[in-house]
A and B are shown apart, each in its own frame.
Chain A
Amino acid sequence: MTIIEQPKEYKVIGTRPIRHDGLDKVIGKAQYGADLKLPGMIWGALTRSPYAHARIKRIDTSKAEQAPGVMAVITGADMPVAEAIEIETGEEVTNLAHASDKLMARDKVVYKGHPVAAVAAADQNAAIEAARLIEVEYEVLQPVLTVDEAMASGAPLVHEDYAGKDLGEETRNTNVADHFRHETGDTAAGFAQAAVVVEREFELTMVHQGYIEPHNATALWKSDGKIEIWTSTQGAFGVRSSVAPILRVPETDIRVTPLEIGGGFGGKIPIYLEPVCAVLSKKAGRPVKVVMDRKSVFEATGPTPGGRIRVKMGANDKGDITAAEVDLYYEAGAYPGSPVGAGAMCALACYRVANARVDGYDILVNKPKTAAYRAPGATQAAYAVESVVDEICQALGMDPLDFRLHNATREGDRRADGPVYPRIGNLEQLQALKDSEHYRTPLEREGADGRLRGRGVANGFWFNGGMQSCVTINVNSDGEVGLVEGSVDIGGTRASIAMQAAEVLGLRAEEVHPVVVDTDSVGYTDMTGGSRTTNATGYAAYLAAQNVIAGMKERAAILWESNADDVEFEDGVFSSKHDSELKVTFKELAAKLTETGGPLAASGSIRQRGSGGGFGSHLVDVEIDPETGKVDVIRYTAAQDVGKAIHPSYVEGQIQGGATQGIGWALNEEYFWSDQGVMENSTFLDYRMPTALDLPMIDAIIVEVPNPTHPFGVRGVGETPIVAPVGAVANAIHDAVGVRLTQAPMKPQRVLAAIKEKNGNGA
């Protein structure tokens, strides 16, 4: 792909227009998945396992079938048996048998909340009540609940027949689905050169994306065998390619319409309900809608893993990191596929480490299958690594940002997992944080009523994906254009994509009318996720707009009875290279399409490369009540290299939102498990996401080191900002009260216990 030279100044890019879908969203007219109503539509509800690990002995659906209003009842026996093969959805690999089993158990339930049956009935409450009437007899098995339990010899097996891999060798009778390693240099030699070596072990528990909109799906299995699906998803095409093999129908027979989505953060890439709704619909002969309750969202959709992480890092007295070892033990959940692979690649990505070893373990436990959550796998690793880096800085007496700048990876450096960095903005964004007013303002160490303050920094990295996108632009006779895209808009991407087309077309952002359509109406487009959408779909829009301009030049040539090569386009005006009298504006020409050959539509499609990655460093001040252990964030600044901010407000919003999720993760969010694998805090009351009262304003510093593989330099933004916060908060707590918290969340009870232990009066 050619690298396009950048225009010197942009007219649209970098401005802050009102997003195209904004009006509908502030007047309550935007249609989200649960808002859909169809003629004849009925409601579904699921019966879920109360046990984390049990064999299904018998299911009796007879009472449910006779309950008032019930039109269909299904169990695992009604679901097609999917092939045990691996498919790629987006760039994730899904084992179909696992994906199918996760939706509806057949022989064995492997997590609490695992569906075992489903009911469709005239209204939602009738379906819920009927689902309660399904009787299931279980043989309860001992659940495997932590990575340590799972790896212990003689541990119960989550899947008896699963073959794991240990450094490429097949293993049997294990809960370790995979163990892999990255290695570079000689760590023993590196540690031998170190003046300071810090080794620590960290523990985390699962946390959830916490989107406010519960999962939902509506399906209609039509009499001609075709299936219509309406759902809140991050990727309609991904739903199609997952549902087709699970239901064993051709992809072509499925049309997925993505409705507005109320948050996802990675958690709405996998499917949970769609095939179940479809099978219920086939049986009932009507469209069936299921909306999950919040408890099921927590218990039975994909959180990000907890686990254990060991980090050993050494540095010499000049402040060079000489060696590092990282062992990542991540919970996969009940099926293989934790984000430990990404965690391993991100763990040391911010630092030049000549001698490094990273081992990753993907471990089966009787908990919900993990799913992507904003920079999946990276935050956990960064919490551990950034905490250890903080300790090294203290041991060496170095400023934490100077140390990070001194060791920062830059273009040409080799990552621990092998590849060499292209142009990246790690140094630039670290320097921006160092130059911030926040960092230059010394912290008052004492707050009111004896509260103690501390300051912490941490750095973070995420790859930022490219992947596939397609956009079609239709020119309207009034000179405005429709932009047809397959990228679900989860946070302002209609605007950021339309703006890129507008820039090329010489239109205002408002003159481009983006619409997100179903899988039959646009070319294949990967999910909105991986910080890829403004980059790749924006690129597709750029290409489509270029093709529109090329087509319009031909129309101008027809108009002037000349040749398209003679037409140039600048500032919204087509003109002849040879006759300065011949000029026509985009709008004027659009009105003449009929007489110059008919409608003009043009598409752009791309399989975009990565972006070189995004780096973001965060700075946080906390205030701690030393008598209760409560930590309040009182000031927060985040700097990030985003390549190019198309719509700066939404870029800031991504950074602020990511930081906030990270703060929640650091301080209070957790899956609190019973000893039987039941999540005890499956409500927003007890899951404790931050409220407006728990946060200060969050300053976002946008740094722009253009991505050379994108015409406008976009790198993507959404994921990087969740990587640094947990480590930054841990470092701030240490700065305030002198204790190193190695368990997340760093909830008051843990902070207080650590303070008491340090003061020698631990209980």
Chain B
Amino acid sequence: MTTAPASQKIILNTTVNGQEHQLLVAPYHSLLEALREAAGLTGVKEGCNDGNCGACTVSLDGRIVDSCLVLAAEAEGRQVQTVEGIAPDGQTLHPLQQAFLEEAALQCGICTPGFLVAAKALLDREPDADEDRIRLWLAGNLCRCTGYDKIIRAVQKAQG
């Protein structure tokens, strides 16, 4: 059990987008701060810092979470996936990313990473989710630009 003082940083060993990372973080840092500041993964966005907008959505051991509501230290030994890790490789986009582009499912784009991570988690589990199910699953992600119409259509397009 760690007993270092709060001011002392800790080393966090975690796997992010398939790569092992050792990150220097404060014990009070959120996973969001660790990913953005220590790992440089600024695709993870901060919109509210209290779990109500979903912009910081990442996948933690396969479940989507608001990374602002997870302490970095909790990710010790776990698997984190961010928007930067969604594409299967450096060359190809994930069908969701491609569909978001084709369907104009983003305007300002700040919510897009969170939506992509959340939508991917849904399609991984429920490839045939219907519109109601998609809307429910994405209700934890706020978008202020699109009215969601094109986002929903993009997810449906990615379902094939």
- Report whether B148 and A695 are in contact in the complex, using a CB–CB cutoff of 8 Å: yes
- Report whether A214 and B102 are in contact in the complex, using a CB–CB cutoff of 8 Å: no
Can you add 5 more A-B contacts, CB < 8 Å, to A35-B42, A294-B50, A659-B147?
A23-B101, A213-B108, A647-B104, A657-B107, A689-B142
Q: List 14 A-B contacts (CB under 8 A).
A: A22-B101, A25-B112, A27-B83, A32-B42, A125-B26, A212-B53, A212-B142, A214-B46, A262-B47, A263-B107, A652-B149, A685-B50, A691-B139, A695-B147
Which are the 8 A-B pairs with shortest beta-carbon distances? A28-B43, A262-B110, A660-B147, A491-B107, A649-B104, A25-B109, A656-B147, A684-B52
Distance in angstroms between the alpha carbons of A659 and B149 in the assembled complex: 11
- Report whether B146 and A653 are in contact in the complex, using a CB–CB cutoff of 8 Å: yes
Query: Which residues on A are within 8 Å of B, measured CB to CB?
Result: 16, 18-19, 21-23, 25-32, 34-35, 37, 68, 124-125, 209-214, 260-265, 291, 293-294, 490-492, 647, 649-650, 652-654, 656-657, 659-661, 683-685, 689-693, 695, 697-698
- Report whether B52 and A652 are in contact in the complex, using a CB–CB cutoff of 8 Å: no
Query: Is B1 part of the contact surface with A, judged by Cβ < 8 Å?
Result: no
Distance in angstroms between the alpha carbons of A573 and B108 in the assembled complex: 36
**Partner of A657 from B97, B139, B146 at Cβ < 8 Å:** B146
Query: Is B116 part of the contact surface with A, judged by Cβ < 8 Å?
Result: yes
Distance in angstroms between the alpha carbons of A647 and B104 in the assembled complex: 10
Name the interface residues of B68-117: CB closer than 8 Å to any CB of A. 82-84, 86-87, 93, 97, 100-104, 106-113, 116
- Report whether A263 and B83 are in contact in the complex, using a CB–CB cutoff of 8 Å: no
Report the interface size for chain B: residues with CB under 8 A from the other chain: 59
Name the interface residues of B132-160: CB closer than 8 Å to any CB of A. 134-136, 138-153
**Partner of B145 from A28, A293, A657 at Cβ < 8 Å:** A657
- Report whether B144 and A210 are in contact in the complex, using a CB–CB cutoff of 8 Å: yes
- Chain A residues with CB under 8 A of B26: 125
Question: Contacts A490-B108, A656-B146; is A27 near B87 (CB within 8 Å)?
Answer: yes
- Identify whether the interface residues of B are mostly helix, strand, loop, or mixed: loop
Distance of A475 from chain B, by nearest CB (Å): 27
Distance in angstroms between the alpha carbons of A26 and B97 in the assembled complex: 6
- Report whether A697 and B152 are in contact in the complex, using a CB–CB cutoff of 8 Å: yes
With both beta carbons as reference points, the residue of chain B lying nearest to A686 in the complex is identified as B52
With both beta carbons as reference points, the residue of chain B lying nearest to A28 in the complex is identified as B43
**Partner of A214 from B28, B47, B146, B147 at Cβ < 8 Å:** B47
Question: Contacts A27-B84, A125-B28; is A490 near B142 (CB within 8 Å)?
Answer: no
**Partner of B149 from A30, A656, A685 at Cβ < 8 Å:** A656
- Chain B residues with CB under 8 A of A263: 107-108, 110, 144-145
With both beta carbons as reference points, the residue of chain B lying nearest to A660 in the complex is identified as B147
- Chain B residues with CB under 8 A of A691: 138-140, 142
Distance of B138 from chain A, by nearest CB (Å): 5
Question: Contacts A213-B108, A213-B110, A697-B149; is A692 near B135 (CB within 8 Å)?
Answer: yes
Query: Is B49 part of the contact surface with A, judged by Cβ < 8 Å?
Result: yes
- Identify whether the interface residues of A are mostly helix, strand, loop, or mixed: loop
Distance in angstroms between the alpha carbons of A3 and B30 in the assembled complex: 57
Distance in angstroms between the alpha carbons of A627 and B48 in the assembled complex: 33
Distance in angstroms between the alpha carbons of A700 and B149 in the assembled complex: 10
Question: Contacts A28-B42, A212-B143, A213-B47; is A19 near B101 (CB within 8 Å)?
Answer: yes
Distance of B68 from chain A, by nearest CB (Å): 11
Distance in angstroms between the alpha carbons of A417 and B106 in the assembled complex: 38
- Chain A residues with CB under 8 A of B151: 692
- Report whether B101 and A684 are in contact in the complex, using a CB–CB cutoff of 8 Å: no
Query: Is B44 part of the contact surface with A, judged by Cβ < 8 Å?
Result: yes
- Report whether B50 and A26 are in contact in the complex, using a CB–CB cutoff of 8 Å: no
Distance in angstroms between the alpha carbons of A362 and B36 in the assembled complex: 43
Distance in angstroms between the alpha carbons of A610 and B61 in the assembled complex: 54
Distance in angstroms between the alpha carbons of A23 and B83 in the assembled complex: 12
Distance of A135 from chain B, by nearest CB (Å): 23
**Partner of A212 from B28, B33, B42, B111 at Cβ < 8 Å:** B111
Distance of B148 from chain A, by nearest CB (Å): 4
Question: Contacts A27-B84, A649-B104; is A656 near B50 (CB within 8 Å)?
Answer: no
- Chain B residues with CB under 8 A of A32: 42, 45, 110
- Report whether B104 and A492 are in contact in the complex, using a CB–CB cutoff of 8 Å: yes
- Report whether B49 and A211 are in contact in the complex, using a CB–CB cutoff of 8 Å: no
Query: Is B55 part of the contact surface with A, judged by Cβ < 8 Å?
Result: yes
Question: Contacts A263-B108, A684-B142; is A291 near B46 (CB within 8 Å)?
Answer: yes
- Report whether B42 and A26 are in contact in the complex, using a CB–CB cutoff of 8 Å: no
Distance of A288 from chain B, by nearest CB (Å): 16
Distance in angstroms between the alpha carbons of A657 and B150 in the assembled complex: 10
- Report whether A211 and B42 are in contact in the complex, using a CB–CB cutoff of 8 Å: no
Question: Contacts A689-B142, A692-B141; is A28 near B82 (CB within 8 Å)?
Answer: yes
- Chain A residues with CB under 8 A of B145: 263, 491, 653, 657
- Report whether B138 and A692 are in contact in the complex, using a CB–CB cutoff of 8 Å: yes
Distance in angstroms between the alpha carbons of A430 and B3 in the assembled complex: 69
- Report whether B107 and A693 are in contact in the complex, using a CB–CB cutoff of 8 Å: no
- Report whether A212 and B104 are in contact in the complex, using a CB–CB cutoff of 8 Å: no
Distance in angstroms between the alpha carbons of A164 and B134 in the assembled complex: 53
- Chain B residues with CB under 8 A of A31: 42
- Chain B residues with CB under 8 A of A261: 108
Query: Is B41 part of the contact surface with A, judged by Cβ < 8 Å?
Result: yes
With both beta carbons as reference points, the residue of chain A lying nearest to B117 in the complex is identified as A28
